[in-house]
Amino acid sequence: MKGILKLAYKLLVNDKSKFTALLVGITFAVVLMLQVMSTFIGMMKRASATVYNIAAPMWIMDPAVESAGSSIGMPDYVLDAARSMPGVSYAVPVYQGNTLAKLADGTYQPITIIGLDDTSLYGRPKLLEGNIEDLYGENAFVVVKDGDYPKLENPHVGTEFQVNDHRGVIVGIADVASGGLFGTPTLYTTYSRALQYLPNLRFTISYVLVQPKSAADIPRIKDQVKSMGYVALTKDEFVDRTSSFYMWQTGLGINIMMMAVMTFIVGLSISGQTFYTFVLENIDKFAALKAMGANNRELVMMILSQAGFTALIGYGLGVGLCSFMITMAKMRLPSFASQIAYTNLGLGLVMVLLIAAVSSYFGVRRVLKIEPSEVFRG
């Protein structure tokens, strides 16, 4: 069997034009599939940017909330009740709202303001410049340095702006785990200042952040919150709810799925046709092997090894090329959302192996039908 596989390898790589065409087709399909899936994963992470950046273990919210960016105000008694629940180490409020900021040159820019608990500043970002304690100063804000940071004219510590006719001052520049999805710069301030600067409805608490005493207390906290008519979700559950909303409740997920299917079909058609042509052009060689005593099992192993080898090489080239493209794009476009993860690498590998399996199927059928006498035909 080792000799047969070595012969299959030489037969494949010696036909340089067909081998190159196969590699190009599979590599092209892998790049397209990974790019589409990476874009979706990156966008889903950005959709849950608030959850990742604040990183609270549990979130209490109105049951009508479908994504991290669409908070619904809750009354103050929810916070009080959460703090008194058995199993809760501590609970703090957080505010999230959108408004317009008037910049120094007179232009207006939509922004997202997150108000942190005045006492603890729980969920505060890591500062690149400035001191987090300066957030207690008058009119103080911390700006996030992400892909949307230039939209505020690259502010520095001391830069002034206006929010609803209130003066604001940048006292720090922060780094966060994920930038936002909708292209609005993010500013952090204290909870009380956020309520002062932004117009609000009757209820002002966007979410209640809960730190359970232990993982065993989480189910009990969820039941107690549910009895009040609200929902408590862990960080991962909140991220999953947000991703599910964009996947099924908007056209985003369906459109990306359709694009992934189309790239799979394109890769399958190109690779399948090229590989079948390769088999047809070498049919005399397979007939000769059969005439020399090679059985059907050995011929099938040759076809499968050729298809598998080409698929894996093409997959590796596609992953490398896609990673390079995403890296270069992020260097020039900080807001570029694509992100390669183990999930899309695994899905890409499965789809490539499926392409190889379907491509080899037609080749196997043709090889099994050949007769040794075909080698002697003129």
Residues 67-118 pLDDT 10s: 988 899 999 999 999 999 999 999 999 999 999 999 988 999 999 999 999 9
Q: State the sign of the Cα–Cα–Cα–Cα dihedral 255, 257, 259, 262.
A: negative
- Nearest by Cα to 165 from 108, 96, 206, 97: 108
pLDDT of residue 183: 82
Same domain assignment for residues 222 and 263: no
Contact 318, 29 (CB under 8 A): yes
Same domain assignment for residues 257 and 195: no
Q: Is 239 inside a domain boundary?
A: no
Boundary-marking domain end, from 161, 196, 229: 229
Angle 87-90-91 from CA coordinates, rounded to 5°: 110
pLDDT of residue 342: 87
Q: Is 234 inside a domain boundary?
A: no
Same domain assignment for residues 214 and 347: no
Q: Around 163, how many Cα atoms within 13 Å sit in the side-chain half-sphere? A: 24
With a CB cutoff of 8 Å and minimum separation 6, the contacts of 309 are 9, 12
Same domain assignment for residues 80 and 201: yes
Same domain assignment for residues 82 and 159: yes
What percent helix, strand, coil does the chain show, rounded to 5?
55, 20, 25
Same domain assignment for residues 93 and 224: yes
Q: Which residues of the chain have pLDDT under 50?
A: 378
Q: Is 118 inside a domain boundary?
A: yes
Domain that holds residue 291: 2-46+251-376
pLDDT of residue 352: 85
Q: Is 311 inside a domain boundary?
A: yes
Same domain assignment for residues 225 and 79: yes
Pairing between β-strand 231-234 and β-strand 126-130 as defined by DSSP bridges: unpaired
Q: Is the pTM of this model over 0.85?
A: no
Q: Is 235 inside a domain boundary?
A: no
Give the chain's domain count.
2
- What does the alpha-carbon distance between residue 105 and residue 228 come to, in Å, rounded to a whole number? 48
pLDDT of residue 373: 63
Q: Is 70 inside a domain boundary?
A: no
pLDDT of residue 375: 57
DSSP letters of 31-70?
A: HHHHHHHHHHHHHHHHHTHHHHHH--SEEEE-TT--STT-
Q: For the CA atoms of the chain, what is the radius of gyration?
A: 29
Q: What is the largest CA-CA distance in the chain?
A: 94
- What does the alpha-carbon distance between residue 217 and residue 246 come to, in Å, rounded to a whole number? 30
Same domain assignment for residues 25 and 95: no
Same domain assignment for residues 274 and 194: no
- Nearest by Cα to 367 from 273, 282, 272, 271: 282
Give the three-class secondary structure for 98. Answer: strand
Same domain assignment for residues 266 and 363: yes
pLDDT mean across residues, the chain: 87
